[in-house]
Structure 1
């Protein structure tokens, strides 16, 4: 893999958004060629490839660190696969959920709130019958939660965290939460982490991640593009 020199890091929000808008209409194959990367045949084993490709073009430097992708700007990058109708095809991973040491944790200081404070959303064609390299990038948008959106997120987060504190993590399903859900987040079922059981005893369970539900991101896209 011959990856070319990383583009410079954008210094302002405007510069970042302008750079993202210049990618609109281009295919993933064209962007990969510019970066000197050979696209995988599909995303089954390379689920994060699209995001990594766009990170390269936009000059993100955070990598896998638990900080915003554009550290100095405090902006997180999120790609969102969309259907022919422009609707999200899947939920959006936000961050790993803490399962121990969570008593007293507040929404205002939570990692998920920091991640969602300012997001650059980049829609990308995601229909499976479109070859990966032929999928087009859409128009990017910079977003911060409205007061109503943040209230929805906070309510779900507090409900889910209460269940974790009470040792109910294994009773949480994707149906819990109106806009936010908690789901297993692991490469395979052998990857386990510590949590609390119903009686407060330590247990081993799959890591969990916070995901935005599709209807939340669909409303977000609809409000900005229609």
Structure 2
């Protein structure tokens, strides 16, 4: 495990040093076994990057580099630099949501400053051969924050009113709420439309591909 970076510039330099290396090469440097596919190792790429960069949060609900206030997110990209998946941000609260505002929400804290690292994600590229791209240290613009807040408020209002079962992936322009569990049998506490306790699938906040595409388009040259 790499020691935690002591400054933003140190973290960014570590990320820059990764650019151009393959996942297999990075894993070898850390003496970590590299899987041949990610079917059962969904979060492996993120864990590898965390280990190299010295992330400190682990599974705790805080930013990956808590001393710097920076979250780490990898983006699997296509051959032409387009995001291949939505980006998980954090688990959504289904209870205890009254009085919660965007300004004091966990998701806003997570997205206040993000180190994005693009990684080749095409399935025909063996995992060990996938290259890491140039990093990007990003903060949401006023426009980004306005829309993220609007999406969050729409989704949280549905949760507050007991309509969690009616939420689907179509809600939200940049942000969406989707099931976040190993399988459909996993259930957690929530509330129904009449305020009665119910069981529901855990939900997670995800950034749509269109949003991460905007970030890439703004900071990198991405073909149309």
Provide TM-score, normalisation by structure 1: 0.97
> 1:102 is paired with a residue of what secondary structure?
coil
Counterparts of 1:82-97 in structure 2, within 5 Å, are 82-97=77-92
Name the counterpart of 2:137: 142
- Offset from partner CA, 1:59-118 (integer Å, 9 cap, x none): 111100001110100100000100011010010000000001101110000000000001
Q: Is 1:26 aligned to 2:54, yes or no?
A: no
Name the counterpart of 1:179: 174
Name the counterpart of 2:43: 48
Name the counterpart of 2:192: 197
Counterparts of 1:84-163 in structure 2, within 5 Å, are 84-163=79-158
Name the counterpart of 1:60: 55
Q: Distance in 2 between matches of 1:110 and 1:140?
A: 26
Tell me how far 1:191 sits from its aligned partner.
1.1
> 1:73 is paired with a residue of what secondary structure?
coil
> 1:136 is paired with a residue of what secondary structure?
coil
Where does the alignment leave 5 or more consecutive residues of structure 1 unmatched? 1-5
Q: Distance in 2 between matches of 1:199 and 1:76?
A: 37
Regions of 4+ moved over 3 Å: none
- Offset from partner CA, 1:30-84 (integer Å, 9 cap, x none): 0000010111121111101000000011011110000111010010000010001
Tell me how far 1:199 sits from its aligned partner.
1.2
Q: Distance in 1 between matches of 2:98 and 2:2?
A: 42
RMSD, matched Cα: 0.6
Name the counterpart of 2:68: 73
Instruction: Tell me the number of residue pairs that the alignment of Structure 1 and Structure 2 aligns.
Output: 221
> 1:72 is paired with a residue of what secondary structure?
coil
Provide TM-score, normalisation by structure 2: 0.98
Where does the alignment leave 5 or more consecutive residues of structure 2 unmatched? none
Q: Distance in 2 between matches of 1:104 and 1:55?
A: 33
Q: Distance in 1 between matches of 2:186 and 2:145?
A: 32
Q: Is 1:188 aligned to 2:186, yes or no?
A: no
- Offset from partner CA, 1:105-154 (integer Å, 9 cap, x none): 10000000000001000000000000000000000000010000000100
